[in-house]
Structure formats: C-alpha cells, structure tokens
Structure 1
Amino acid sequence: MEKKNQVYGIRAIIEAINSDETVDKVFLQKGLQGSLSKELETLIRKKGISSSYVPIEKLNRLTKNNHQGAIASISPIKFHTIEELVEPIIQEKENPLFLLLDQLSDVRNFGAIIRTAECTGVDGIIIPKKGAAPVTADTIKTSAGAAFKIPIAKVDHIKDAVFYMQACGVKVIGATEKTEDTIYQVPLLGPIAIVMGSEDIGISPSVLKAVDYKAKLPLLGEISSLNVSVACGVFLYEVVRQRLS
C-alpha cells in the first residue's frame, strides 16, 4: 500500500468514508474492541467496503504511525455506480463495449487490462466491490495512465452487472475454456460486454450461467492457459477486428 494512499486511525477512516473518499479496503486489527471500532465496522458493512482482520504486526509493517488498529487504502481514482457509467454510454453510442472483471486480483494484470481496454475503445469497466484488485500506484503505472481515462464502476456482484447489461440490451460474452466455441465463432457486433475471470479459477459458476455466450481461445501448445491480461487483449482485439471488417 502506498503511504500517500493510506489513512490510519479509526476516527480518521470514519471521516474519510463519510466524506465520500474512495476507500478500497480497510485493514482491521484482530480482536479490536471499543465503541468507535464497532462504529467503523458498521460503516464498512453499510458501504460495502472490502475489509480484512489482520495481526497487529501487519498493520505495523504498513505504517510506522499510530494506526489505532485500523488502516485504509484510498483509491487514486473516483469510481462510478453502474448506472452512472452505463446509461449515458447506452444513450450516446450505437455499439458500446464494456468489460466486466470477475474477481481479478493482481494489480499489474488489472493495469495491463485497463491499458488494452483504453486502446481498443472499451467504454467502461465494471469490477466487484469485494475481492477485486485495488487501483494502486502500480495499477496506474502499468496502465500507462489509462486508469484516468476510462471510467470504472463497482457493483456488489458481477452477476448483478450481467443482468443489468442484459436489461439494457447489451449482449454478454464470457471468456472461458468451458465451451466448444472459440472467440472467432461468436458474433461481436452491436452492444456487447466481455467477462474475464480471475487468474486462478476464471469466471465464477453463477456468472457463467448468466452470460449470453461463452467463448474460448484456441491453445495449440502444451501450456493450458494464458495470462488473463493477454487473453483479455486477444478478446478485445477480436472485437476490433470484427467491427472494422
């Protein structure tokens, strides 16, 4: 966690949340007691902010300041709601392109995907509130600054975003090896959203059941999978290829 992107101290974190700062995650000391800590925990649950209970040693490594058992990481960008992101784009563009990231956890993969998304004309990225890679200085650097150019929204669950997209007339394609269809067999014209899964397990089963189409990349070597940022790039550039043809 970058020092300039952290807030420490229970009361300071409460104030940051109530002031609508974009709090990515709160680290709480295990066994934390007191009315103020209970107030913070209640606020975290109410706002749907990701949190972890950790040993005091971890908090001491994150900062040398008096953290009082709580440290929060603050995102350098402002997140949107899915309605704020999608509705204006749907109204303005005939063939919008969205990217849904289901539990992607590596900040550098996230940054690389943001960079490719911006280069391929993605109109917006949607991530879950909990379990997703935060936007850190490493994310910004890997994205080559694209994180400041492309809007990113947070939702409670990616499945919610899938249903919302479908209700808006957007076709949703899941990138998964659990299909016989390759990306080159799936029509990618019109309003679409592509779902990419996490680095280890891919798209969660509940999300995979909800998508309109499933597509995979043909793998001709002995390695059974691609890095998620590389795979995402191939999917997005197939969208570009079909739309330019």
Structure 2
Amino acid sequence: MNNEMTNIFGIRAIIEAIESGSTINKIYLQKGLRGNLFYELDKLIKEKKLTTSMVPVEKLNRLSKNNNHQGAVAQISPIEFHDLETLIEKTLESDKKPLFLLLDQLSDVRNFGAIIRTAECTGVNGIIVQKNGSAPVNAETIKTSAGAAFKIPICKVDHIKDALFILQSAEIKTVAATEKTDDSLYQVDLNQPIAIVMGSEHRGVNPSILKMVDYKAKLPLLGEIASLNVSVACGAFLYETVRQRMA
C-alpha cells in the first residue's frame, strides 16, 4: 500500500468513505460549519467515534490544495488496523510468551514511528493505541518507522482500559513505565506473556491506567535530567525484555 497519506475532501465524499469502511485517521472540519449534510456527517463521526479537529478555512485550503473541500477534509490511513481480540488469539496460538505494546495517548508522530521501528526489531507481536488522542499513522510516521508500520500489527481501541481488560483476561501480565514507583525495570519478570504500557510525552501513563496494571517499573536516571524521551525509554523496556528472554 502507498505510504503517503491520502486526503479526501468534500462532505459527501467523506460520508461515503466512512460508510464504505475506510480507515480514517482524522477529519478536519471548518469552524462554524452548518447545514443538513454537515449534520449527517457529524452523526456518522459520533457513531463511529472518529477523531476530529475544528480548524480555520486556511488549514483546509492547504490540505485540499485549494480544491472545493466544502469545509471538510479527511485523512485516510495508509495501513489497515487489526482487531485486538483476534490478534491476541492468533498470537497465543503461535507464541507462548507474547509481547504487546500499549501507547497511552502518545501524540508525536516521530516518537510513534521510532517506537514502531524498535518494536518490530524486538519482536513485539502488536501495538495498541487509543482511537482518540493518539498520534496518527501518517506519512511521517511511516518514514520514521523505516517502513516497520507495514510489518507489525497495530490495533485501535476505544480506550486503553479496554485493551488492558482483554489482555489480562488472556493471562498476559501488564507493566507500566512510570517514575511513580520504587520498582526498577530490572526487578520485573519480563520472561512471561507481557504487555508494556508507555505513556504520553507530557503526562506519562494515566493514573487510572496505573491502578490497573500488574507491575509498575522505572528506569534508573543517573544524571540531572528528570526523564527520558518516550521512544528511548520504550527501547530500554523492550530490549530488557529481549535480554531476559535470551538469558
């Protein structure tokens, strides 16, 4: 599949794309948009829980290259997303110690792409993201991932909590990367079915998620800077998992 993001514009075209089952990353809508056709689109957006952003007309003009966008532009994802429960079932059939990665509202596409690349290199069975508030899989994500986004399954869920429930019901232990713990990553047993949770760049892992996970772990920070870039921290977590499993 072409790794460039496809933009479609025009309210009717976007409605048809949604109804046909196209994987839509995000819909940009002109501020103050009104009319019957818009309300039909808005109803579909709410039903499908699609991510939207209200923007000035200048933004839409750039996205559509000044074509007749009618106040709406949608970005179609260059990849197909996987169903989480089906992926877990298939993974458990073929891998006794699966490794999943959950990204709790990571927002930077370059961090996302770097994480996808590292995940593919470390044998991650699947990446799980939330539908709303997460970085999209777009052309920059694909480029930063060095094409790994086409090689590793990515799932979208309504909420990361949903994924945690499903993973834990499949007897997959969950570990969150957080500084809000006394436990070091190197104290956690990663040589078992594991799902690692990484938080957003600014907030980290949501407190409500921290209450649900089986383990919380942090990396030692020996300098004066209080935190690592999330993609670097994720790499450390994934390679410690590899190290334990190869020992």
Q: TM class by shorter-chain length?
A: over 0.9
Single out whichever of 51-60 and 151-160 deviates more from structure 2. 51-60
Query: What is the identity, as a one-letter code, of the residue corresponding to 1:108?
Result: R
- What is the CA–CA distance in structure 2 between the aligned matches of 1:131 and 1:144, rounded to whole Å? 23
Matched letter for residue 90 of structure 1: L
Q: How far does residue 129 in structure 1 lie from its aligned partner after superposition? A: 0.4
What is the CA deviation profile of residues 179-216 of structure 1, one whole-angstrom value per residue up to 9, with x for unaligned ones?
00010011101110000000000011111111000000
Q: TM-score, normalised by structure 2?
A: 0.96
- Residue 193 of structure 2 aligns with which residue? 191
Give the deviation of 1:3 after TM superposition. 7.9
Aligned to 2:102: 100
Write the letter of the residue equivalent to 1:76.
Answer: P
Match of 2:124 among 109, 122, 125: 122
Which shows bigger deviation, 206-215 or 60-69? 60-69
Task: Give CA deviations for 1:56-100 in whole Å, capped at 9, x if unaligned.
Answer: 222123221111000001110001121122111122210000000
Kindly state the Cα deviation for residue 157 of structure 1 after the two structures are TM-superposed.
0.5
Q: Distance in 1 between matches of 2:72 and 2:87?
A: 31
Give the number of equivalent residue pairs.
244
Q: Indicate the larger mover: 85-94 or 113-122.
A: 85-94
Structure 1's unaligned 5+ residue stretches are none
Question: Deviations for 1:201-240, whole angstroms, at most 9, x for unmatched residues?
Answer: 0011111111000000000001111100000000000000
**What secondary structure, in the 3-state scheme, does the structure 1 residue paired with 2:211 have?**
helix
Identical pairs, percent: 67
Relative to structure 1, the CA distance from residue 122 to residue 179 in structure 2 (aligned partners, 3 Å threshold; closer, same or farther) is: same
Indicate the RMSD between aligned Cα atoms, in angstroms: 1.2
Matched with 2:152 is 150
Match of 1:67 among 66, 69, 75: 69
* Displacement over 3 Å in runs of 4+: none
Q: What amino acid is the match of 1:49?
A: L
Q: Distance in 2 between matches of 1:56 and 1:126?
A: 33
Amino acid at match of 1:123: N
- How far did residue 35 of structure 1 move? 1.2
Taking structure 1 as the reference length, the TM-score comes to: 0.97
User: 2:35 matched to which residue of 1?
Assistant: 34
The equivalent of 1:6 in structure 2 is 7
Cα distance in structure 2, aligned partners of 1:147 and 1:121: 13
From 210, 214, 217, give the equivalent of 1:215. 217
Q: Name the CA distance, whole Å, in 2 between partners of 1:116 and 1:229.
A: 8
Aligned partners of 1:60 and 1:187: how far apart in 2?
Answer: 52
Q: Look up the match of 2:20.
A: 19
Contact residue 4 and residue 78 of structure 2 kept, 8 A: no
* Residues 112 and 143 in structure 1, CA contact (< 8 A), matched pair in contact too: yes
Amino acid across the alignment from 2:49: G
What displacement does 1:4 show?
Answer: 5.1
Write out per-residue CA displacement over residues 133-192 of structure 1, whole angstroms, 9 at most, x where no aligned residue.
001111111111100000000000001111111001000000000000010011101110
What secondary structure sits across from 1:41 in the alignment? helix
The letter of the residue matching 1:234 is: A
Q: 2:233 aligns with which of 227, 231, 236?
A: 231
Aligned-partner Cα distance in 2 for 1:125–1:217: 21
Which residue in the other structure is 1:45 paired with? 46
Whole-angstrom distance in 1 between the partners of 2:15 and 2:57: 20
